[in-house]
Chain A
Amino acid sequence: MVMTVANVLKIKGRIYTTVKPTETLREFAQHLKDDRIGAMVVTHDGDTLDGIISERDLAYGLAKYGEKLADMKVSELMTKVVLVCSPEDSIEEVMDFMTQRRIRHLPVKEDGELIGIISMSDVVKAHLTGRLMSARLA
């Protein structure tokens, strides 16, 4: 059975948290910790996808900026060119994409509108579920 990004969103929900480009990296770190997540979509108005920022950006950023990091702004560390996927993409396509580009989080867009974000863990979980369902059908 072919699992798609839409299936993943159905399981994990369409809710995703966002951070403003003007927030500090300390505030961003607190959001990650509170929500127990690894990345957030950056948006100044709640709709526009300005960028994406992850725990990796913080960890690697510390090496570069040291004690200055915590007070810097999200906009200074975020990735601006954001790769996205669509609900119809298959899980295997996304697995391939994430492996090739070495990325762990992909925002999901439908008709230009941001509808969610999926992580590598979500994708692996969905892949396992799909395999399990195929095995039961066989």
Chain B
Amino acid sequence: MKVSDILKTKGSAVITVRRDETVLDLSEKLRQERIGAAIVSMDGHTIDGIVSERDVAYAVAAHASRLPTVLVETIMTKVVVVCAPDDTVNEVMSVMTKQRFRHLPVQDGQKLVGIISIGDVMKHRLSEVQLEADVLRDYARVQR
């Protein structure tokens, strides 16, 4: 199973936010779309950074009541690890758990083609596991 298989089911829509938008704008976007992270991009294609609900949450400690007016670029992560459509789900799963990322943008060459979360990865692993279990059950039945 590959990253492109996940994108096939969830689609390649990516929610982006500009680096000069406020954290309040960002939080409204996250809440409205019911997502955990947005790609920071000025033009919708080039990745300037990534910003997650964790960045917002941790920033409450530092900025308190001033946080709504702080700019996205202040709290975003600039060095972004990406994956490619051809990467396997197992590879991505291992990168996510080892490096403690929950979201990876998907880039095809220079083009941003999607974003996958640890929830997406888990959902797909789960369907594989269930499929394997069904196959094994059928196999066991035949053996008897």
Residues of chain A having any CB pair with chain B under 8 Å: 25-26, 29-30, 32-33, 38, 55-56, 58-60, 62-64, 66-71, 92, 95-96, 98-99, 102, 104, 120-121, 123-125, 127-128
Contacts and interface: CB of A to CB of B under 8 A. Distances in A.
Interface string B24-67: 10011011100010000000000000000110111111001111
Contacts of B66: 67
B2 interface: no
B116 to A, nearest CB: 13
B93 A58 contact: no
Contacts of B28: 63
Interface of B: 23-24, 27-28, 30-32, 36, 53-54, 56-61, 64-68, 90, 93-94, 96-97, 100, 102, 118-119, 121-123, 125-126, 129-130
Nearest to B23: A62
B58 to A, nearest CB: 4
B118 A121 contact: yes
A70 B119 contact: no
Given A38-B54, A59-B30, A62-B24, A124 B118 contact: yes
B97 A128 contact: yes
Interface centre among A30, A62, A64, A66 (most CB of B within 10 A): A62
Given A33-B58, A92-B129, A124-B96, A98 B122 contact: yes
A99 B129 CA distance: 14
B30 to A, nearest CB: 6
Contacts of A38: 54, 57
7 contacts: A59-B57, A60-B31, A62-B23, A67-B67, A95-B126, A121-B118, A125-B97
Contact of A66 (B24, B59, B129): B24
Nearest to B32: A63
B136 to A, nearest CB: 12
Given A63-B27, A70-B65, A58 B97 contact: no
Contacts of A125: 97
